[in-house]
Amino acid sequence: MTAPRLRSSTTFRIRQNQSATLDVRDPPTASTRTRSVPQNRTVGHTSEDFDSVRVSIVVRAGAAAVWRGLTDGREDWWPDLEFDAAVGADLKESWDEDDGPHHAAGRVTEVVPRELLAFEWTEADWPNHLHVRIELDDHDDLTEIVVTETGFEAIVAHPDLRHAHEESWHFHLENLRDALRFAPTSHD
């Protein structure tokens, strides 16, 4: 069985702060930021509204290493996704499923190196784009990656899309985490 594929806009967020840690068993909130972080555990949180998905993971790598993996090292964890980390750059994903080839396309909308990557994307039969924000929160040698994807309510013809994207973001973030484990280290 292949993992579900994400086909919408997403933002990743990485935060880093030497004195703050996060319990990855709970959705990140102010109250959980003071607990210890089990290494490389995935956290998933889906918004109460039906328009968005929010998934996060804490990885044992600094924001610089995560940013390199996210923007330059995608072939190691998401080879079907292509883009340049520049505002306005085209973004595309192509993959095969049982019913044949699929394609998503969009553009990069925000870039703040080591902090934020945002894009929008769509498939041919969607009436609107989905919007993705990937934020990085650096905590010294740990980085929290938070993906928020919005716009699902406008795509009513695909009622399971939101859930499929949530599962896919878990899959892709775990692949990124695994790729970072084997990446050469540097102290940028």
| Tens digit of each residue's pLDDT (9 = 90 or more) over 16-55 | 333 233 333 333 333 333 333 334 444 444 445 689 999 9
| pLDDT score at 64 | 95
What is the spatial distance between Cα 11 and Cα 89, in angstroms, rounded to a whole number?
A: 15
Q: Please give the structure tokens belonging to residue 51.
A: 């328009």
| pLDDT score at 49 | 63
| pLDDT score at 7 | 39
CATH of 11-181, one of 2.40.100.10, 3.30.565.10, 3.30.530.20, 3.40.50.300: 3.30.530.20
pLDDT bin (cut points 50, 70, 90) of residue 184 is low
| Tens digit of each residue's pLDDT (9 = 90 or more) over 114-170 | 999 999 999 998 999 999 999 999 998 899 999 999 999 988 777 889 999 999 999
Side chain identity at residue 142, one-letter code: L
| Tens digit of each residue's pLDDT (9 = 90 or more) over 48-64 | 568 999 999 999 999 99
Query: Is-contact 18 140, C-beta < 8 A?
Result: yes
Query: Is-contact 117 108, C-beta < 8 A?
Result: yes
For residue 96, give the H/E element and its range.
strand 90-97
CA 102 and chain centroid, separation: 20
| pLDDT score at 34 | 31
